[in-house]
Amino acid sequence: MIGSFRLPVSLTSSGDTTAPTILTATVEDANPDKLVVVFSEVVTIANTTGLTITGAATPTLSAPTGSGTDTITFTLSTALTSGQSVTLNVASSNTIKDAANNALLATTKAITNNVAASATVDTDYQALLDYATANAIALPDATQQSIDNQLLIDYKATGAWAKDDCFMKFTGTATPAFKLIDWKRLITMVGYGSLTWSTTGAKGNGTNAYIDTKYIPSDAGNKWKANDMGVIIGISKMPTISAYVFGYRAVGGQFTTFHIDPTNSNEGSYILNDPFYGSIANASIIGLNGGYVDATNTTYIAGDTENKPTGTQFVPDGKVFLLAYHREGIAQLFTDAELDYVTFGADKRAEHAAMKTVLE
């Protein structure tokens, strides 16, 4: 009888031995600080060991999410910007594996950078940001910067910016310190008392709150001749008391102020064609030596007609205050109005309608 015997059998495994690969690596405009990596199959990741970015930017990767799927999202330490060419580098020490425990092999993958180019930054707005940074003043957030930048571009298109000596904007989410920067002169004004700051403007309290603009009209030369001065005031909340929205004391006892009567409930933009004549119902201008002119430009309530200035007469020296009347260096007659913007400069009657569209 021939004995039986068993031949050895070689068994070949039929399991998955294919390592995962990277299909895409992308940074989108909506999330410039997120890197989204799509793999050829479901993978897991323990940490970011062995993963780096090189090229025009070298942010580090952290906080991977999506382990157990085919898409892993990483947070970048610094957001990418438009046009930056970058590459994802994978070392053999990485912790990415598929369900069969096949590790992602060392490789590189060009990152698709879909971050869009930022809107053009106006040179004067950039100068404003640079001034704030140089003076340790916190900048507005990116959203507010975008709004303000476009506002200035649109405002310049009206032609008003070229006529301005001062441009003050008190609305938005910027800090009070940033709102106290005069955009045109690039100086920091000074706020006093209990001012209320909000997204709708700077509000006085009728008692001690005011803003020293550090602006002396006579320094502007011919722009402040009596027949060529232009002031635009945006009032977001009318005062509850009759008081002076802005005013200054001049040398020699002469002064001029802008007065708003609270019986006028209309809010919005007020235009002063010159420092002695008003064009608004229930608003008035105090002229030289106390001459008081109503909105019709005809009724003199105080003083006399001889105080009416001539077309070539300069407004005397004196520093302008907002939300109060300035007399001999002392703030007086405060208002609780809320201002959203103020501009001083040459006559801007022709630009006023377009200005309102931009600023309001």
Q: Indicate the pairing of strand 338-346 with strand 164-169.
A: antiparallel
Q: Which two tokens stand for residue 207?
A: 């008692």
Half-sphere exposure of 114 (CA within 13 A, CB side): 12
* Per-run averaged pLDDT (10 residues), the chain, 360 residues: 48 74 95 95 96 94 96 93 91 96 96 83 93 93 88 93 93 97 97 96 92 78 54 75 56 44 42 36 32 30 35 54 74 82 77 81
Q: How far apart are CA 183 and CA 165, in angstroms?
A: 10
Query: Residue 15: what pLDDT?
Result: 84
Question: Cβ distance 262 to 239 under 8 Å?
Answer: yes
Residue 6's contacts (CB-CB under 8 Å, 6 or more residues apart) are: none
Contact 348/160 with Cβ under 8 angstroms? yes
CA 32 to chain centre: 20
Task: Report yes or no: 202 and 249 within 8 Å, Cβ to Cβ.
Answer: no
- Pairwise CA distance, residues 211 & 108, whole Å: 58
Q: Which amino acid is at 279?
A: S
Backbone torsions φ then ψ of 41, nearest 5 degrees: -160, 175
Q: For residues 133 and 199, what is the distance between their CA atoms, to the nearest angstrom?
A: 22
The span from the CA of 185 to the CA of 275, in Å, is 21
| Cβ atoms within 10 Å of 231's Cβ, excluding its own | 23
Count of C-beta atoms within a 10 Å radius of residue 105:
13
* Pair of tokens at residue 184: 């045109």
C-alpha span between 106 and 96 (Å, rounded): 11
Domain annotation for the chain: domains and CATH numbers: 22-114 (2.60.40.1220), 123-359 (2.60.120)
Q: What is the pLDDT of residue 246?
A: 59
pLDDT of residue 270: 42
Edge-first strand order for the sheet with 107-110 is 51-55, 86-90, 107-110
- Asked whether the beta carbons of 217 and 229 are under 8 A apart, the reply is yes
Other Cβ atoms closer than 10 A to 66: 18
Question: Of the candidates 206, 318, 194, which has an alpha carbon nearest to the alpha carbon of residue 257?
Answer: 318
Residue 166, beta-bridge partner list: 344
What is the 3-class SS of the chain, one letter each residue? CCCCCCCCCCCCCCCCCCCCCEEEEEEECCCCCEEEEEEEEEEECCCCCCEEEEECCCCCEEEEECCCEEEEEEEECCCCCCCCCEEEEECCCCCCEECCCCECCCEEEECEEECCCCCCCCHHHHHHHHHHHHCCCCCCCHHHHHHHHHHHHHHHHCCCHHHEEEEEECCCCCCHHHHCEECCCCEECEEECCCEEECCEEECCCCCCEEEEEECHHHHHHHHECCCEEEEEEEEECCCCCEEEEEEECHHHCEEEEEECCCCCCCEEEEECECCECCCCCEEEECHHHCEECCCCCCEEECCHHHCCCCCCECCCCCEEECCEEECCEEECCCCCEEEEEEEEECCCCCHHHHHHHHC
- Do residues 292 and 308 lie in contact, with contact meaning Cβ atoms separated by under 8 Å? no
